[in-house]
């Protein structure tokens, strides 16, 4: 089961994701949490992927959708600590050129300044 915990680090909303970003499970949970953060007024969002175990094409699609939704609402979405496998997927799909990716939370938070 996918769980997402939301926390604040200054002006940045961090979504700590645990579990799977897969069709019918994590994709829906991610979508709802990103939209809730945006409706609550968050403009700077970091998705902490450190504890994500599996990502399928639906999960990748939801990452892109979340990025697009955030951008269209004047916000910015960045990725934190994707697994080596997810990092490879982002390279293969050329999404590495779309997302800003960080391995260090303070660095990710500071990038919004």
- Tally of residues, the chain: 113
Question: Per-residue confidence at 1, pLDDT binned at 50, 70, 90?
Answer: confident
Question: Per-residue confidence at 94, pLDDT binned at 50, 70, 90?
Answer: very high
What does the mean pLDDT of the chain come to? 96
* Domain-wise residue ranges, the chain: 3-110
Class of domain 3-110: alpha beta
How are strands ordered across the β-sheet holding 12-21?
A: 3-9, 12-21, 44-55, 76-80, 101-102
The pLDDT > 70 percentage for the chain reads 100
Ramachandran angles phi, psi of 41, nearest 5°: 100, 5
14: left (phi over 0), alpha (psi -120 to 50) or beta: beta
Question: Per-residue confidence at 77, pLDDT binned at 50, 70, 90?
Answer: very high
H helical segments located in 1-113 = 26-39, 57-72, 84-92, 105-110
């Amino acid at each position: 089961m996918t769980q997402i915990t939301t926390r604040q680090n200054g002006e940045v909303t961090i979504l700590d994701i645990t579990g799977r970003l897969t069709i019918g499970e994590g994709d829906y949970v991610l979508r709802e949490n990103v939209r809730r953060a945006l409706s609550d007024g968050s403009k700077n969002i970091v998705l902490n992927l450190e504890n994500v175990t599996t990502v399928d094409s639906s999960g990748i699609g939801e990452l892109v959708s979340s990025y697009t939704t955030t951008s269209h609402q004047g916000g910015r979405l960045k990725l934190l600590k994707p697994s080596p496998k997810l990092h490879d997927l982002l390279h293969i799909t050329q999404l590495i050129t779309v997302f800003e990716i960080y391995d260090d939370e303070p660095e990710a938070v500071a990038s919004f300044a």
